[in-house]
Structure 1
């Protein structure tokens, strides 16, 4: 390592490298209870567990009914794994970063849409001549 001028310490915070930030509003026990209460997407998992989510359409319906507030649309980012045998929450996953990333990368992904490579139709005037 004689030719090395300086060694910069590696940054231990990997989230910094990938631009990942925690959501502005972390999940609270009240939010988890709301997801369990209003979940309309349920998937059976092994070991007597149930994965619960609140869809955007259901959350918007609940907002229109006055049962949730506009800020509660954040509940759609949470996934709760519930153990029916023990009657307790096993895992809470917060997908807010995935939603933000999909919005951020939507324009980039649109560059590779097949429709963007389609040839433009010839003008009708050129066909008539």
Structure 2
């Protein structure tokens, strides 16, 4: 049984790497054929493939991470406070408290970061 499991794991890993390899291979093949078709049509490919200026939303990412960290810290603080007071009815929901507060404050951070990013663009 153990040897069958090891063979199965080897086949799974081989399939994973084959998928990644062939995916990249066909991506390069498609891109090359697309360039060749554009050259045959007489299109200037430097305009098609010129680098565009990208803008990464640092404010959105930063405020989302900050909100998640703040929500997690508040959740842990409430969790520890309620554990010290030995409140029994809340013991079932205490593990989910920090996670839900983390999502709540993360969403608030996402909204704040998005509004700051929008003001910065204008």
User: TM-score interval w.r.t. the shorter chain?
Assistant: under 0.3
Q: Which has the higher contact order (CA 8 A, sep 6+)?
A: 2
TM-score by length of 2: 0.26
Greater share of helix residues, 1 or 2?
2
Structure of higher CA gyration radius: 2
TM-score by length of 1: 0.25
